């Protein structure tokens, strides 16, 4: 028997780019990949996007593929939905998640329902991209984390990447998926950098990732929160604690397996989330852990979430209301029943 | 702020119309105040004393002053997020407006709203609104309540609801105008047409770019006025408000002006051609009005400079007031979430346990 050498495939080359650039390159690649893909949203063409995600794309692809829409969220989200019903693949940009509330009827009552309600005869291959997040003094109406609104809805898929590599691989997957996908970005992630593999990368939707392994406690988070979770985990590592970090990546469907497998190992869990505490993403994670691995828990699951208040503009109040590394580290220590060591305070 | 009721003594004959010289000088002073305040806001933003989004009324001074010269003290005013000038013209202390931008407790909204969300219930400034079109349905509702509570007539209150040209494309605008037309509400909708919504021209966003015509579907008369002409704005707004008060006839007023700078303080407006920028600068209402008053002998350079210097001191003082004012105390974070206290209202800070250990 001759032994054939397994074909050696080099891992793809990587580049360090920003989350913003990863999104921009992916949109460009998908516009090239499929003629049915088009972009639509406010200020995405001439203005190149409020957060410059679509820079250069109008020039390259023209106004049929990069459609500047008036301020009419309900109208153009619904129009994208209609185009998707006959096989186009619209990628909608809603300037921020706050304005999605104007389009909520088209998203929740229509996009999410079409396939089931019409007996599987039509599908809606559309993506709605939008950044959420507070912390930039944009005040109550412009600082929200409304992901749970969408994560609650059957028929939608909801993604929330935390790294440039995931932004690329999940956005590609979202555009190629045949269902409405809500793609949640975060204002404070756009300039963050990370290694991104070259070439086509398609993530599997519905899977969480263990982004740091550990044995003492699991932090579950997503989007911007994952970057804070990693910061805290590394910091506590230096104090001799072994923290595992699970990045959800997909909020619907939710990868309960990966969450429970991690907690089965560590026996402790803390959820770090940017949304409000009551009925938030963390409530679902806590319930999952309670039902799935109760016997393995050495302490109650805790959640670190935003204070339940319309977010004020003033910096002092905004800082007090939003969850930060310091509160996460405090709660991790409380769950592990460890007194804080004297060390440099974590950034508020 | 200029008094609403103007003596019709024809003191000035060289300037078109019958507005007395002191009133005209008052308008110049008001325009100078807005100009100076906005330039200072921009500077304070660059120095990181102001955060978040910050949209200025630069270039819209004649529109703001003309409208606010027409409105009665008892009328309700709703605006979008480009609201600093309106707050100043409703006679709010410039220091309190600056303090709001600084996020201080002495700010008009207690530092909780910031640039986009100026509110003063006493002055009946019923809010700057950050969501495009968000102000239009509640403004319409105030008019509904006025109609229910007050007799039509010169003594009735009315509502003035400001919005941008881009804002006429949102559903809330059309739904609200239909309600106002259907129910005969005492409201004047004012489109401040600065020809751009962020980087998008009116022609690129509105199938009917003559925005005043958009009232037609709702049987609301529409009027277009030169927004750089403070007197024309004032007169049109007075007439419209009078119709709202006495006839319960809603009116749509479109005021043509220019945005002198970017959409917000951080927008360099690169999408704008040099030609367009030149046009905007040429029609800049502040120097134009100053020159008109000087040509008419109502002001001379020295007098205009003296007004500007007085304003400069007022704006200096507003910055000092803002600087000296206290930051809100995090202990007050939950102060205004609910009007009626109830059991179990959340008051946890991030990281607090949901339950005290039993
Ligand atoms: C519902 C909603 N969509 C989008 C935005 C983002 N946005 C803020 S201002 C603006 C442009 C509005 O233009 P216009 O009505 O002309 O007012 P102007 O800024 O010129 O005063 C947009 C798109 C928003 N705040 N709310
Ligand atoms: Mg405009």
As a whole number, mean pLDDT of residues B59-86 equals: 98
Q: Which pLDDT band, with edges at 50, 70 and 90, does A340 fall under?
A: confident
pLDDT tens for B123-152 read: 999 999 999 999 999 999 999 999 999 999
Q: Is B266 on the interface with A (CB under 8 A)?
A: no
Q: Which pLDDT band, with edges at 50, 70 and 90, does A9 fall under?
A: confident
Residues in A touching B169 (Cβ below 8 Å): 70-72
> Which is it for the CA torsion A258, A263, A266, A270, positive or negative?
positive
A345: DSSP letter:
P
Flag whether the ipTM exceeds 0.90.
Answer: yes
Identify the pLDDT of residue A345.
57
Task: Tell me phi and psi for residue B212, to 5 degrees.
Answer: -65, -20
Termini Cα distance of chain B = 61
Beta bridge partners of A18: A193
Residue B3 pLDDT greater than 70, yes or no: no
CB-based contacts of A323-327 (< 8 A; 24+ apart in sequence): A323/A225, A323/A228, A323/A272, A323/A273, A323/A274, A323/B350, A323/B351, A324/A228, A324/A348, A324/B350, A325/A228, A325/A231, A325/A232, A325/A235, A327/B349, A327/B350, A327/B351
The CA A94 to ligand 1 mean position distance, Å, reads: 12
Yes or no: say if B54 and B45 are a contact pair by the CB < 8 Å rule. yes
* Nearest residue to A132 via CA among A118, A142, A123: A142
Classified by CATH at the fold level, domain B21-325 comes out as: Rossmann fold (3.40.50)
What CATH number should be reported for the domain whose range is A17-197?
3.40.50.970
* CA–CA dist B36, B230 (Å, integer): 18
Q: Which pLDDT band, with edges at 50, 70 and 90, does B229 fall under?
A: very high
Which residues touch B265 (CB under 8 Å, ≥6 apart)?
B41, B42, B45, B46, B54, B55, B56
Distance in Å, alpha carbon of B119 to nearest chain A alpha carbon: 14
* CA–CA dist B310, A31 (Å, integer): 58
Residue B159 pLDDT greater than 80, yes or no: yes
Provide the 10 A C-beta neighbour count for residue A120.
9
Q: Which pLDDT band, with edges at 50, 70 and 90, does A162 fall under?
A: very high
Cβ B196 under 6 angstroms from ligand 1: yes
The CA A42 to ligand 1 mean position distance, Å, reads: 10
* CA–CA dist A82, A61 (Å, integer): 22
* Burial environment of residue B8 by CB neighbours within 10 A (0 to 12, 13 to 18, 19 or more): exposed
Mutate to test the pocket of ligand 1, among B197, B255, B260, B261 (most ligand atoms within 8 A of CB): B197
* CA–CA dist B340, B345 (Å, integer): 10
Cβ B60 under 6 angstroms from ligand 1: no
Cβ B164 under 6 angstroms from ligand 1: yes
Beta bridge partners of B162: B190
Helix (H, G, I), strand (E, B) or coil at A261: helix
Yes or no: say if B152 and B247 are a contact pair by the CB < 8 Å rule. yes
* Nearest residue to B197 via CA among B231, B162, B237, B163: B163
Chain A and chain B share a number of CB contacts under 8 A equal to 144
CA of A295: how far to CAs of A258, A259, A265, A290, in Å?
A: 17, 15, 12, 9
* CA–CA dist B191, B129 (Å, integer): 15
Identify the pLDDT of residue B4.
44
The CA A205 to ligand 1 mean position distance, Å, reads: 34
Give the total residue count for chain B. 358
Residues in A touching B132 (Cβ below 8 Å): 71, 99
Q: Which two tokens stand for residue B18?
A: 């019958």
Domain ranges across chain B = 21-325
What is the set of active-site residues of A? 73, 142
Domain ranges across chain A = 17-197, 209-335
Cβ B202 under 6 angstroms from ligand 1: no
Of A5-9, A147-151, B192-196, B250-254, give the lowest mean pLDDT range: A5-9
Residue B300 pLDDT greater than 90, yes or no: yes
* C-alpha neighbours within 13 Å on the C-beta side of residue A253: 9
Q: Which two tokens stand for residue B204?
A: 């690129």
Classified by CATH at the fold level, domain A209-335 comes out as: Rossmann fold (3.40.50)
DSSP character string of A291-340? HHHGGG-SS--EEEEE-SSPPPSSHHHHHHHS--HHHHHHHHHHHHT-PP
Indicate whether this model's pTM tops 0.90: yes
Which residues touch A211 (CB under 8 Å, ≥6 apart)?
A162, A226, A230, A245, A246, A247
Termini Cα distance of chain A = 64
Q: Is A104 on the interface with B (CB under 8 A)?
A: no
* Burial environment of residue B270 by CB neighbours within 10 A (0 to 12, 13 to 18, 19 or more): exposed
pLDDT over 70 percentage in chain A:
95
Distance in Å, alpha carbon of A278 to nearest chain B alpha carbon: 9
pLDDT tens for A254-306 read: 999 999 999 999 999 999 999 999 999 999 999 999 999 999 999 999 999 99
pLDDT tens for A136-158 read: 999 999 999 999 999 999 999 99
Cis peptide before A238 (omega within 30 of 0): no
The CA B272 to ligand 2 mean position distance, Å, reads: 13
CA of B219: how far to CAs of A280, A300, B171, B212, B216, in Å?
A: 46, 63, 17, 12, 5
Which residues 140-159 in chain A show a CB within 8 A of chain B?
140-142
What does the mean pLDDT of chain B come to? 95
Residue B66 pLDDT greater than 60, yes or no: yes
pLDDT tens for A17-37 read: 999 999 999 999 999 999 999
* CA–CA dist B305, B290 (Å, integer): 10
Residue of A44, A47, A71, A322 to mutate, testing the B interface (most B Cβ within 10 Å of its Cβ):
A71
């Amino acid at each position: 028997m001759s032994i054939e050498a397994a074909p050696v495939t080099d891992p793809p080359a990587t580049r360090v780019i920003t989350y913003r650039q990863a999104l921009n390159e992916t949109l460009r690649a998908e516009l090239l990949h499929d003629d049915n893909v088009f972009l639509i949203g406010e200020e995405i063409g001439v203005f190149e996007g409020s957060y410059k995600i679509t820079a250069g794309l109008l020039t390259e692809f023209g106004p049929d593929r990069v459609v500047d829409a008036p301020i009419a969220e309900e109208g153009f989200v619904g129009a994208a939905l209609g185009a998707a019903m006959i096989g186009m693949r619209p990628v909608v940009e809603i300037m921020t998640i706050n304005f999605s509330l104007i389009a909520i009827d088209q998203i929740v009552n229509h996009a999410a329902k079409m396939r089931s309600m019409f007996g599987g005869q039509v599908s809606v291959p559309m993506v709605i991209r939008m950044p959420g997040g507070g912390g930039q003094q944009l005040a109550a109406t412009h600082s929200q984390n409304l992901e749970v609104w969408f994560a609650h809805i059957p028929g939608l898929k909801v993604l929330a990447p935390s790294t440039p590599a995931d932004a690329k691989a999940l956005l590609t997957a979202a555009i190629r998926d045949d269902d409405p996908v809500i793609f949640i970005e975060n204002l404070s992630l756009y300039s963050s950098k990370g290694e991104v593999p070259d070439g086509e990368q398609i993530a599997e939707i519905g899977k969480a990732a263990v982004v740091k392994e550990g044995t003492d406690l699991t932090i579950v988070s997503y989007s911007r929160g994952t970057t804070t979770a990693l910061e805290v985990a590394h910091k506590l590592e230096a104090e001799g604690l072994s923290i595992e970090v699970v990045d959800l990546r997909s909020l619907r469907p939710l990868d309960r397996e990966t969450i429970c497998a991690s907690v089965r190992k560590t026996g402790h869990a803390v959820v770090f989330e940017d949304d409000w505490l009551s009925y938030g993403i963390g409530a679902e994670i806590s319930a999952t852990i309670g039902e799935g691995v109760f016997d393995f828990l050495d302490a109650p699951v805790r959640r670190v979430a935003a204070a339940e208040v319309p977010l004020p503009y003033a910096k002092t109040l905004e800082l007090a209301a939003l969850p930060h590394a310091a509160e996460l580290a405090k709660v991790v220590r409380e769950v592990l029943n460890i007194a804080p060591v004297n060390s440099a305070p974590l950034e508020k | 702020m200029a008094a609403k009721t103007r003596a019709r003594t024809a003191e000035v004959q060289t300037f078109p119309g019958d507005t007395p010289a002191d009133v005209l000088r008052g308008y110049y002073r008001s325009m100078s105040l807005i100009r100076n305040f906005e330039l200072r806001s921009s500077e304070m933003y660059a120095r990181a004393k102001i955060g978040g989004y910050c949209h200025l009324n630069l270039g819209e001074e004649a529109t703001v002053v003309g409208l606010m010269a027409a409105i009665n003290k008892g009328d309700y005013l709703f605006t979008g997020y480009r609201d600093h000038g309106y707050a100043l013209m409703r006679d709010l202390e410039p220091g309190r407006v600056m303090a709001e931008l600084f996020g201080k407790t002495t700010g008009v909204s207690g530092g909780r709203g910031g640039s986009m969300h100026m509110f003063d219930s006493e002055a009946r400034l019923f809010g700057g609104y950050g969501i495009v079109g968000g102000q239009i349905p509640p403004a319409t509702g105030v008019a509904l309540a006025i109609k229910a509570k007050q007799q039509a007539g010169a003594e009735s209150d009315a509502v003035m609801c400001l919005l941008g040209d881009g804002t006429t494309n949102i559903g809330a605008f059309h739904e609200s105008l239909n309600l106002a037309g259907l129910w005969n509400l005492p409201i004047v909708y004012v489109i401040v047409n600065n020809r751009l919504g962020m980087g998008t021209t009116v022609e690129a966003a509105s199938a009917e770019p003559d925005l005043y015509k958009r009232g037609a579907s709702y049987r609301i008369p529409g009027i277009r006025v030169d927004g750089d002409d403070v007197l024309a704005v004032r007169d049109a707004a007075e007439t419209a408000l009078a119709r709202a008060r006495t006839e319960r006839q809603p009116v749509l007023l479109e005021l043509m002006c220019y945005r002198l700078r970017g959409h917000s303080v951080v927008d360099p407006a690169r999408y704008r051609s040099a030609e367009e920028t030149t046009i905007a600068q040429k029609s800049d209402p502040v120097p134009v009005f100053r020159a008109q008053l000087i040509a008419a002998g109502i002001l001379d350079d020295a007098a205009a400079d003296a007004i500007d210097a007085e304003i400069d001191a007022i704006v200096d003082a507003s910055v000092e007031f803002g600087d000296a004012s206290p930051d809100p105390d995090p202990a007050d974070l939950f102060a205004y979430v609910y009007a009626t206290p109830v059991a179990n209202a959340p008051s946890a800070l991030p990281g607090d346990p949901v339950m005290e250990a039993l």
